[in-house]
Each structure stands twice: as structure tokens, then as C-alpha cells.
A = this chain, B = another copy of it.
Amino acid sequence: MTWRFALMIEPAASDDSRTDFSDTFTVVDPAAPALSVGELSTQRGDGIFESIGVVDGHAQEVIPHLERLAHSAGLCDLPAPHRLQWQQAVARAAAECPPGESVIKLILSRGIEHGPAPTAWVTATEAADFRAARTTGIRVVTLDRGLDSGAPDRAPWLLLGAKTLSYAVNMAAIREARRRGADDAIFVSSDGIVLEGPTSSVILRTGDRFATPAPGAGILHGTTQLSLFTRLEELGFETAYDSIPAARLQRVDAAWLVSSVRLAAPIRSIDDRPLAVDASLTADLNDYLLSPRD
């Protein structure tokens, strides 16, 4: 039986000056009904989320996640999340997490249809066991995202930089990757620029240079990628945000998909082309990601 915890949040206005929000939290049974059928999160995927890794009760990089939540809220015309309130909700959920790895999800939904306020909640769940993905690595395929790389600037209503609940395409891409005998996917723009994984960021190594697609291209700015760049710089490597043509994927020396819970998964093949896994560097990166970080 998977361990779970859930907390409903009564969202505070962003100028609420309270310092203790505990009476805006209601612990609920995560398996019991908690949301009504009128919820716009469920009817239209209309809301935003964050997934935060938790290691031995320590929630990792809470502030960068809350900053991204606020960024997503802005793009989606949702009320700004109250930073301190969410921070306290995360702390409350983290305090429930047992030793080992867990994942805390933050969800801010537009609320009940025609209702007065957004709905918000936090869940904590035991993380899946990703040890094999972190060591043996994953096979990926490239998949066309349909959008050209100019779309995000041209059409902000496509919400391309927001982490919305409308993830059906992301999930379909992972199913398509599995149908092709792979584990995961890398999205490529219709004009051939590397974007991101459906639930991860892409990091590519060429010699001692590590590059990731520039977040300006409408992809999510990965919190784990940001953190890993700090670590790579500590190790003396060069890091860069690039516009990366898909053809370069066939020439890199190594590659990873990185995300908050699976952490750094080395890629062992891209579109059936084998890629070497640097076991010791990958272990270093995952050790770093598993150490307490704020």
C-alpha cells in the first residue's frame, strides 16, 4: 500500500499579512472524495501544479518551485499564490513524509465552475523506485511537438511556459515512447529545435560543455536542471543555454533527462542510437540531488 497524505488549502489573498496559515489547512483522507465534479481542474485541466522531491523529510528547493508556481499563475491569469501560505503547506506535508523519497504535489485549480475562488491542495506520496532509471539509464525517442519554436512568443495563450494541469499530450507522448520500445521522449519543435521531455528537462554533454534548451523557447524552466548546472559548474564544467538543433542529439557524448523526483536519468539511447552512460558522473549528480537543498 502506497503511503499518502493530502491537505486542502483555503487560498489566501496575496496581500494577507498573517504569519501562521495553519488554520487555512484541512487534512483530508487522500483516498476519500475531496473534490466536487464541478472542479475546473477535472473538467478542463484548468489549473497549475508543481512536483517537489522530498528526501528523508526534507522538501527540495521549495522556493524555486513556489516561484515557478507563481510564474505559471501569472501566465494562466490565476490569483498569485501566497508564498508563505504555500511554504507552510509544503512544510506541513513534508513533516508527514517518512524516511526515504517522497513527492509533494502542489495544485492550484481555477476552482468550481462559476465559483468564487480557486481550489488548492497539496499531496504527499511515496516516490516510485527510480534507482534503475538513475543508474542503467533510459531509452528515449524524439517526438514532434507540432509547434514551431516561434509559437511561444507569438501566442502566449498557448501557455507554453506554464506548468498547467492540461498534461494529456505529455502523457500520450510517454505512451507513444513505450509503444516504440523506449522509456521516455524528447519533444522537438516542428522546425527541429530540441525542447524538453514530457515531464523533464534535457541536458546534453559535448566534451566538457553541458547545454540545455533555453527556457525562452516556451519550455518550462527546470528547477532540477538549474540546480544541476550549479553542481556541474562546481565540478569545473562549462554550462550553457542553447538553441539546440535536433541533429545535434546524434552527436552528443552523453545526455540526461532531469526532473524533481526521478532526478538525473542518463539516456542510454536516442531513437535507437546507443549512447554511453557515464556512471560515476551520473552517480555524483544524483548524490547531489539527493542531498538537502533549499
Contacts and interface: CB of A to CB of B under 8 A. Distances in A.
A121 B39 CA distance: 13
Q: How many chain copies does the complex carry?
A: 2
A168 B172 contact: no
* Dominant secondary structure at the A interface: mixed
Q: Which of A28, A30, A34, A154 has the most CB of B within 10 A?
A: A34
A38 B32 CA distance: 9
A155 B172 CA distance: 11
Q: How large is the interface on A (under 10, 10 to 19, 20 to 34, 35 or more residues)?
A: 35 or more
B175 A77 contact: yes
Interface stretch (A43-51, A60-68, A251-259, A266-274): A43-51
Contacts of A162: 168
A18 interface: no
Nearest to A4: B38
Contacts of A43: 41, 49, 105, 107, 165, 167
Q: Which of A76, A154, A165, A173 has the most CB of B within 10 A?
A: A165
A249 interface: no
Interface string A196-228: 000000000000000000000000000000000
Contact of A154 (B30, B76, B146): B146
Q: Which of A30, A44, A110 has the most CB of B within 10 A?
A: A44
Q: Which of A31, A146, A156, A171 has the most CB of B within 10 A?
A: A146
10 contacts: A33-B34, A37-B121, A41-B42, A41-B43, A42-B165, A45-B165, A45-B167, A158-B169, A166-B167, A166-B168
Interface of A: 2, 4, 6, 28, 30-39, 41-47, 49, 76-77, 105, 107, 109-110, 114, 121, 123, 143-148, 151, 154-160, 162, 164-173, 175-176, 190
